[in-house]
Structure 1
Amino acid sequence: MRYLNILALGAVIGLGAVPQAVASSSAWYSSEGGKVRLVTSGKPDEAGKIHGVLDIALKPGWKTYWRDPGDSGVPPQLDISASTNIADARLSFPPPQRHDDGYGKWSGYDRPVSLPVTFTLSSPDQPATINANVFLGVCETICIPVQTRLSVNPASDPDNATDAALVKTALATLPSPARPDFGVRVLPGDHETLVVEAHSPGDPDSVDFFIAGERDYMFGAPARSERNGKLVFTVPILDRPSATPTDGGLYFTLTSTEGAVDGQLPFP
């Protein structure tokens, strides 16, 4: 996708009045390609976490990105540093689709999508206010960045059934944890390739593999093949850190007609 000047346009889009909190959701923020808001379920759970969604209502023909947008996109981002009593905010992602727009191959969504987000309270017994600076890309023939602050006071309407239902529905769209009969196994590769064998119920032709480049890794589009009757994806490693990380791993999602699973792979 071709991008307009991100810094200049992002500054313009971010100007203006900050949408005020309405109940346990924010007001909608409108842009050329659609609108976005933040919704929460109101009450924290027993672990001191508030569940919510970044609700992205795309206009027809517009798209937005998965956690790994490819070599020229903008993944959805939340900065909660201006919040009160919020220690962390973690986005989760429904299964993406693969897109090729003629400028590059990337992963994302061509329909309205609700991205679950989990807010962790610093002190579970204290009130919290969420002030989230949101940054994401939306695309038609060109891509534009959307930048705004969305504010929510979860305690203002903690029993809002509509908001709670939206959050519950969004959580239900997430991939299940990978398992032996539906997941991937890393095969020997080299410094420039990640190779995985995919296992999935259902039609093998429907299976697709998505890997998120993080910690200075960058990946190209996976190429599918068959080895000894098994489905294999070979992924070019376009860039990598100077030293292989020793903690964590790389997020992946495997999709098929039978659903989707996700998990983490060791750093190659």
Structure 2
Amino acid sequence: MTTTFRIVISAFFVALSSITAFGQSLPASTSAQGFHSQVQLLSGGKLGETWLAGIAITLDPGFKTYWRNPGESGLPPSFDWSASENVADIEVQWPAPERHEDAAGVAYVYSREVTLPVVVKPKVADKPVKLALTVDYGICKDICIPAHADLARPLTASGPDRAAIDGAMGRVPRRRALGDPGDPAVLSVQPKTGADAALTVSVRAQDGARAVLFAEAPENWYVSVTPDGERNRFTLTIEDRPKDASGPVPLVLTLVAGDKAVETQVSLDGDSLSR
């Protein structure tokens, strides 16, 4: 997908967001009904010195929303926590997505429902924490429409939604080094013979599991991933990059195999060769 087309898509979503935001805002609550979707702010109690929360998005049949990297088209969720109270840091975690391909290209999506775990570090440990979230996200079936919700929730020690949050955390890819001995694993990233700006990524998956690979590059880098014709091997193509790019350039590879997923960070030289 060209950079120009990406800019057009972004402008389209910004314009639609402005339209949906026009008018009187409603008081924030723990849940909100959106376009063919519902969003809920969950409370999961304490985990050591942090609090657990979650963002649960439920979708009508046939609709999907997007991962942190939407792929070739779509709108990734954005979060504004600035009105929260007694919060020093917030980390949103991302369960592994699905790969969806249609006439618009390849997108990385969630269908039916997804819970994004949230780890909250308080400013003062013994004072109450209240989350206030403004979330914008894309909902897509035949066309993609932006949705918006304002949510708020005090976090309590009882953590009524802990089971749902723990289940979602179990689907967040585990961080693993290149060549990790476990299954699944990203084994190697090598220049592809006879191809410019392309790499061969070799992976390992547990017996019988189909491997799916997702790649994320820095801003203004665009990459694509396709199966390489052999089991557990993929071609990663650098579709576009800054003219003055120089290494090392971080690249995050997320490998999904069955019900397991891992995340591996590698580096590229500015000339797109593996480091």
TM-score past 0.5 threshold: yes
**In the alignment, which residue of structure 2 is the partner of 1:186?**
189
Distance between the aligned counterparts of 2:166 and 2:58, measured in 1? 17
**In the alignment, which residue of structure 2 is the partner of 1:29?**
32
Distance between the aligned counterparts of 1:46 and 1:130, measured in 2? 18
**In the alignment, which residue of structure 1 is the partner of 2:59?**
58
Amino acid paired to 1:142: I
Relative contact order, higher structure (CA 8 A, sep 6+): 1
If the length of structure 2 is used for normalisation, what is the TM-score? Answer: 0.80
Moved over 6 A (4+): 1-4
Question: Are 1:202 and 1:256, in contact at CA under 8 Å, matched by a contact in 2?
Answer: no
**In the alignment, which residue of structure 2 is the partner of 1:195?**
200
Report the CA distance between 1:81 and its aligned residue.
2.1
Distance between the aligned counterparts of 2:111 and 2:251, measured in 1? 24
Distance between the aligned counterparts of 2:259 and 2:117, measured in 1? 22
Report the CA distance between 1:245 and its aligned residue.
6.1
Distance between the aligned counterparts of 1:191 and 1:118, measured in 2? 41
**In the alignment, which residue of structure 1 is the partner of 2:41?**
38
> Aligned match of 1:243 in 241, 245, 254?
245
> Aligned match of 1:223 in 222, 227, 230?
227
| Identical-pair percentage | 30
1:150-204 per-position Cα deviation (integer Å, ceiling 9, x unaligned): 212114xx3143x122212211222334332421122135872243111122236
Question: Are 1:217 and 1:240, in contact at CA under 8 Å, matched by a contact in 2?
Answer: yes
Q: Structure 1 unaligned runs (5+)?
A: none
Structure 1's 238 and 198: CA in aligned 2 closer, same or farther, altered over 3 A? Answer: same
Map 1:1-268 onto structure 2 (within 5 A). 5-14=12-21, 15-21=23-29, 26=30, 28-43=31-46, 45-47=47-49, 49-155=50-156, 158-161=157-160, 163-178=161-176, 179-181=180-182, 182-184=184-186, 185-189=188-192, 192-203=197-208, 206-226=210-230, 231-241=232-242, 242-244=244-246, 246=248, 249-257=250-258, 259-267=260-268, 268=272
Q: Structure 2 unaligned runs (5+)?
A: 1-5
Question: Are 1:129 and 1:151, in contact at CA under 8 Å, matched by a contact in 2?
Answer: yes
Structure 1's 193 and 126: CA in aligned 2 closer, same or farther, altered over 3 A? Answer: farther
Structure 1's 258 and 154: CA in aligned 2 closer, same or farther, altered over 3 A? Answer: closer
Structure 1's 246 and 231: CA in aligned 2 closer, same or farther, altered over 3 A? Answer: same
Question: Are 1:89 and 1:120, in contact at CA under 8 Å, matched by a contact in 2?
Answer: yes
If the length of structure 1 is used for normalisation, what is the TM-score? Answer: 0.82
Between Structure 1 and Structure 2, how many residues are aligned?
Answer: 253
1:235-257 per-position Cα deviation (integer Å, ceiling 9, x unaligned): 1112334334658x333221223
Structure 1's 120 and 259: CA in aligned 2 closer, same or farther, altered over 3 A? Answer: same
